[in-house]
Protein backbone atom coordinates (compact mmCIF):
# COMPACT_ATOMS: atom_id res chain seq x y z
CA UNK A 1 0.00 0.00 0.00
CA UNK A 2 1.35 3.41 -0.92
CA UNK A 3 1.10 5.96 1.85
CA UNK A 4 1.16 9.74 1.76
CA UNK A 5 4.69 10.38 3.04
CA UNK A 6 8.30 9.42 2.54
CA UNK A 7 11.09 9.61 5.10
CA UNK A 8 14.70 9.68 3.98
CA UNK A 9 17.94 9.63 5.95
CA UNK A 10 20.98 11.66 4.90
CA UNK A 11 24.48 12.38 6.20
CA UNK A 12 25.52 16.02 6.14
CA UNK A 13 28.96 17.57 6.49
CA UNK A 14 27.34 20.84 7.54
CA UNK A 15 24.29 21.12 9.78
CA UNK A 16 22.32 24.31 10.36
CA UNK A 17 23.39 24.36 14.03
CA UNK A 18 25.54 22.30 16.39
CA UNK A 19 23.15 19.32 16.50
CA UNK A 20 24.24 15.82 15.55
CA UNK A 21 20.75 15.02 14.22
CA UNK A 22 17.93 17.07 12.79
CA UNK A 23 14.59 16.54 11.10
CA UNK A 24 12.92 18.73 8.50
CA UNK A 25 9.75 18.24 6.51
CA UNK A 26 7.81 19.61 3.58
CA UNK A 27 4.02 19.82 3.36
CA UNK A 28 3.98 17.35 0.48
CA UNK A 29 4.95 14.54 2.87
CA UNK A 30 8.75 14.42 2.69
CA UNK A 31 10.46 13.94 6.07
CA UNK A 32 14.26 14.23 6.12
CA UNK A 33 16.33 12.89 9.01
CA UNK A 34 19.85 14.39 8.86
CA UNK A 35 22.90 13.07 10.71
CA UNK A 36 26.24 14.81 11.17
CA UNK A 37 29.07 13.23 9.17
CA UNK A 38 31.37 11.01 11.22
CA UNK A 39 28.75 9.92 13.75
CA UNK A 40 26.93 7.22 11.74
CA UNK A 41 28.07 4.47 9.37
CA UNK A 42 26.90 4.95 5.74
CA UNK A 43 25.60 1.35 5.57
CA UNK A 44 23.31 2.09 8.51
CA UNK A 45 21.90 5.15 6.72
CA UNK A 46 20.93 2.92 3.79
CA UNK A 47 19.24 0.44 6.14
CA UNK A 48 17.32 3.27 7.85
CA UNK A 49 16.13 4.43 4.42
CA UNK A 50 14.87 0.94 3.61
CA UNK A 51 13.08 0.64 6.96
CA UNK A 52 11.45 4.07 6.51
CA UNK A 53 10.30 3.13 3.01
CA UNK A 54 8.75 -0.08 4.38
CA UNK A 55 6.97 1.86 7.13
CA UNK A 56 5.66 4.50 4.69
CA UNK A 57 4.24 1.76 2.44
CA UNK A 58 2.82 -0.32 5.30
CA UNK A 59 -0.45 1.56 5.65
CA UNK A 60 0.09 1.75 9.42
CA UNK A 61 0.71 5.50 9.68
CA UNK A 62 -0.06 8.61 7.65
CA UNK A 63 1.44 12.08 7.34
CA UNK A 64 -0.40 14.71 9.40
CA UNK A 65 1.79 17.81 9.87
CA UNK A 66 -1.04 19.65 11.60
CA UNK A 67 -0.24 17.52 14.68
CA UNK A 68 3.38 18.71 14.88
CA UNK A 69 4.48 19.19 18.49
CA UNK A 70 1.36 17.57 19.96
CA UNK A 71 1.63 14.49 22.16
CA UNK A 72 2.88 11.60 20.02
CA UNK A 73 0.39 9.37 18.22
CA UNK A 74 3.23 7.18 16.88
CA UNK A 75 6.62 6.45 18.50
CA UNK A 76 10.02 5.25 17.30
CA UNK A 77 13.41 5.20 18.96
CA UNK A 78 16.94 3.88 18.51
CA UNK A 79 18.23 1.29 20.94
CA UNK A 80 21.87 0.15 21.13
CA UNK A 81 22.26 -3.57 20.58
CA UNK A 82 20.72 -5.65 17.87
CA UNK A 83 22.13 -8.48 15.85
CA UNK A 84 25.89 -8.68 15.24
CA UNK A 85 25.02 -9.83 11.69
CA UNK A 86 22.95 -6.80 10.65
CA UNK A 87 23.28 -3.01 11.00
CA UNK A 88 19.80 -2.81 12.50
CA UNK A 89 16.82 -4.86 13.54
CA UNK A 90 13.39 -3.43 14.17
CA UNK A 91 10.54 -4.48 16.38
CA UNK A 92 7.08 -3.02 15.87
CA UNK A 93 4.10 -2.94 18.17
CA UNK A 94 0.50 -1.95 17.53
CA UNK A 95 0.06 0.08 20.74
CA UNK A 96 -2.03 -1.06 23.65
CA UNK A 97 -5.22 0.99 23.41
CA UNK A 98 -4.45 2.51 26.81
CA UNK A 99 -2.20 5.36 25.78
CA UNK A 100 0.79 3.54 24.23
CA UNK A 101 0.70 4.40 20.51
CA UNK A 102 1.97 2.19 17.68
CA UNK A 103 5.77 2.02 17.91
CA UNK A 104 9.02 0.90 16.29
CA UNK A 105 12.05 0.02 18.39
CA UNK A 106 15.07 0.21 16.09
CA UNK A 107 18.01 -1.74 17.51
CA UNK A 108 21.33 -0.59 16.08
CA UNK A 109 24.72 -2.26 16.31
CA UNK A 110 26.91 -0.16 18.59
CA UNK A 111 29.82 0.04 16.15
CA UNK A 112 27.61 1.75 13.54
CA UNK A 113 26.51 4.84 15.46
CA UNK A 114 27.90 7.25 18.03
CA UNK A 115 26.10 6.98 21.42
CA UNK A 116 25.78 10.79 21.52
CA UNK A 117 23.91 10.63 18.19
CA UNK A 118 21.56 7.95 19.58
CA UNK A 119 20.74 10.23 22.53
CA UNK A 120 20.07 13.21 20.28
CA UNK A 121 17.93 11.18 17.87
CA UNK A 122 15.84 9.82 20.75
CA UNK A 123 15.51 13.14 22.57
CA UNK A 124 14.94 15.48 19.62
CA UNK A 125 14.85 14.20 16.04
CA UNK A 126 12.70 11.09 16.37
CA UNK A 127 9.98 12.65 18.57
CA UNK A 128 9.77 15.60 16.17
CA UNK A 129 9.60 13.31 13.14
CA UNK A 130 7.03 11.03 14.78
CA UNK A 131 4.85 14.01 15.69
CA UNK A 132 4.20 14.40 11.95
CA UNK A 133 2.54 10.96 11.78
CA UNK A 134 -0.73 9.51 13.04
CA UNK A 135 -2.15 5.97 12.81
CA UNK A 136 -3.61 5.38 9.36
CA UNK A 137 -7.37 5.72 9.18
CA UNK A 138 -7.76 7.02 12.72
CA UNK A 139 -9.40 10.30 13.45
CA UNK A 140 -7.04 12.17 15.72
CA UNK A 141 -8.48 15.12 17.64
CA UNK A 142 -6.79 18.45 17.03
CB 90 within 8 A of CB 44: no
Q: Where are the domains of the chain?
A: 6-135
Report H helices in 58-121. Answer: 115-120
C-beta neighbour count of 54 within 10 angstroms: 12
Query: 27-36, 78-87, 94-103, 115-124: lowest mean pLDDT where?
Result: 94-103
Q: pTM for this structure? A: 0.88
Q: How confident is the model at residue 1 (pLDDT cuts 50, 70, 90)?
A: very low
Statement: residue 98 has pLDDT above 80:
no
DSSP string for 49-70: HHHHHHHHTTTSEEE-GGGTTS
pLDDT at 93: 85
Taking only the tens place, the pLDDT of each residue in 33-87 is 999 999 999 999 999 999 999 988 888 888 988 888 788 888 999 998 878 888 8
Amino acid sequence: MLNNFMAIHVVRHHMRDDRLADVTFWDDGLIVFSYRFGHIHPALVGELDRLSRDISHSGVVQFAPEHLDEPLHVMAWYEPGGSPDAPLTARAGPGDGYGLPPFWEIQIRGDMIDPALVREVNEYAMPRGCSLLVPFGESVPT
